[in-house]
Amino acid sequence: MKKELTIGLFGFGVVGQGLHQVISQTKGIKASIKKIVIKHADKNRTLPKQHFTTDANDVLYDPDINVIVELIDDAQAAFSIVKQALQNGKDVVTANKKMLAENLEEIYELQKITFKSVLYEGSVCGSIPIIRNLEEYYDNDLITSIEGIFNGSTNYILTKIFEEKKSYASALTKAQELGFAESNPDLDVLGFDPKFKLIIAIAHTFGVFVKPEQVINLGIANITDTDVRFARENGFTIKLIARAFKQGGKIYGFVAPQLVSQQHTLYSVRNEFNAVQVEGAFAEKQLFVGKGAGSFPTASAVLSDISALNYHYQYEYKKRTQGAVPEFTNALQVEALVSFEKGKGITKDSFEHFQEGYAWQGQEILRGFITLEKLADIAKQPGISILLAPDARLNPIKIKQEAEAII
């Protein structure tokens, strides 16, 4: 039976306004927004003042409101809202990937206790319906990997750099003007945003809850003009790729920029578009592509979750019940290129297996296999750029079992 939804909305920024417009134009969905919680009462709004309040309790404790839609930036405040809403017997829709990545296991437990739903399709790759596909379409498939372009802002920046030969700074500024990147773009360009999304996807792909501090993220901020020329002259582009895969009963996952050849499925994914490639034992490789930045793509995903609540939908986290939950680890060797100016102290001995080195336009470029954790440490040094090799090989490190003590 279709459930009538009365919504309390937190946040009326780009996505919140997009959602209000989408709901008002969508027929067939039994939902209405009763009240919107905002931070600044004196700010000019597109709706009359009676629609707004600055008191969260006006919404959280309103018995007529049965769904909370949370669309604010503050992850800590967002979690408090979600937790209180569940405890008050209200379903929740959110698109806050940082909040979810930091608190997903507790949210999972709260849903079991309260018998209420928290849906968050809009938190991962904008308009691409990846979470529900992982839950439903792939519920019994043995997924081996998931990877893709999980951040529209950086993909837009890289597209402009390669196709229009814009500088990194001008491409970033344009992304901010269009609302694809925040005024403080570090979450995007340092790879934190796609990491948060990857953590959420891992929970529904492999049934594993991972904390942000466990997942290594390398961004695009240190990519140089020399890197771009090297890629272009060798027929590559650069994409920021989030990936996770299962091998030998363990889960590996990280975010890093990579040289991508024209034959790669992600090569032609441009501008603010996201892409997710899922590989399963039965379905094999399937690619999902859609807009990942902007008000309406995310708002459409939020609306999809609201519509699902009309039919009492809940995530079942099915992968957690299909056998033993695997362990997440960073014990991985990756094939990478490290570029730097002379004198940085990076040598072929930094690699587990050194392949080759170049001196190219004033830069040193070393290529080989290096542990993921060592690569992350090197990336912290200023003036060093990291790129995964084209079609990079990723080799799990076998941890030797300690011999049992002989008593």
Indicate whether 331 pLDDT > 50. Answer: yes
Given 116, 197, 246, 319, which residue is catalytic?
197
Segment 152-176 shows an average pLDDT of: 94
d(CA 375, CA 378): 5
Weakest mean pLDDT among 139-143, 144-148, 218-222, 387-391 = 139-143
Percent of the chain with pLDDT over 70: 97
Q: What does the pLDDT average to over 191-205?
A: 97
Please tell me the total number of residues recorded for the chain in this structure.
Answer: 407
Convert the pLDDT of each residue in 25-79 to its tens digit: 887 788 999 999 999 888 888 899 999 999 999 999 999 999 999 999 999 999 9
C-alpha to C-alpha distance for 154 and 182, rounded to whole angstroms: 11
Average pLDDT score over residue span 134-144 = 85
Closest C-alpha among 98, 240, 81 to residue 162: 240
**d(Cα 339, Cα 39) in Å, to the nearest integer?**
45
SS3 state of residue 163: helix
- C-alpha 92/C-alpha 65 separation (Å) is 11
Amino acid identity, residue 19? L
User: What does the pLDDT read at residue 400?
Assistant: 53
Give me the DSSP letters along 195-224: HHHHHHHHHHHHS----GGGSEE--STT--
Please, are residues 127 and 302 in contact by the beta-carbon 8 Å criterion? Answer: no
Q: Which two tokens stand for residue 277?
A: 């490639």
Range in 162-171, 347-356, 359-368 with the lowest mean pLDDT: 359-368
Higher pLDDT, 399 or 250: 250
C-beta separation of 122 from 301 below 8 A: yes
3-state helix, strand, coil in the chain (%, to 5): 35, 25, 40
Lowest mean pLDDT among 102-111, 233-242, 282-291, 338-347: 338-347
Is the Cβ–Cβ distance between 372 and 216 less than 8 Å? Answer: yes
* pLDDT score at 362: 80
- Both tokens assigned to 18: 């997009």
Distance CA(110)–CA(91), nearest Å, equals 11
Q: How large is the C-alpha radius of gyration of the chain?
A: 22
The question of whether 319 is a catalytic residue gets the answer no
Sort residue 14 into left (φ over 0), alpha (ψ -120 to 50) or beta.
alpha
Task: Choose from 19-23, 105-109, 316-320 the range with maximum mean pLDDT.
Answer: 105-109
Checking if the pLDDT of 289 tops 70, the result is yes
- Give residue-wise pLDDT tens across range 238-279: 999 999 999 999 999 999 999 999 999 999 999 999 999 999
5-128+298-316: in CATH 3.40.50.720: yes
- Asked whether residue 182 carries a pLDDT value surpassing 90, the answer given is no
Confidence (pLDDT) at 403: 33
Buried b (16+ CB within 10 A) or exposed e, 99-111: bbbbbbeebeebb
Calculate ∠ Cα 292-150-166, nearest 5°.
Answer: 75
Supply the mean pLDDT for the chain.
92
Domain ranges of the chain: 5-128+298-316, 331-397
- For the cut 90, the answer to whether the pLDDT of residue 352 exceeds it is yes
Which residues is 244 bridged to in the sheet? Answer: 146, 253
Rounded distance between C-alpha atoms, residue 386 and residue 366, angstroms: 10
Which of the four pLDDT bands, split at 50, 70 and 90, describes residue 163? very high
Q: How confident is the model at residue 402 (pLDDT cuts 50, 70, 90)?
A: very low
Average pLDDT of the residues in 131-138: 92
The span from the CA of 171 to the CA of 165, in Å, is 9
* Dihedral in degrees, nearest 10, Cα atoms 344, 348, 349, 351: 100
pTM over 0.85: yes
Q: What is the mean pLDDT of residues 381-396?
A: 95
Task: Tell whether the model's pLDDT for residue 164 goes beyond 80.
Answer: yes
For strand 67-70 and strand 5-10, is the pairing parallel, antiparallel, or unpaired?
parallel
Instruction: Determine the pLDDT at residue 399.
Output: 64
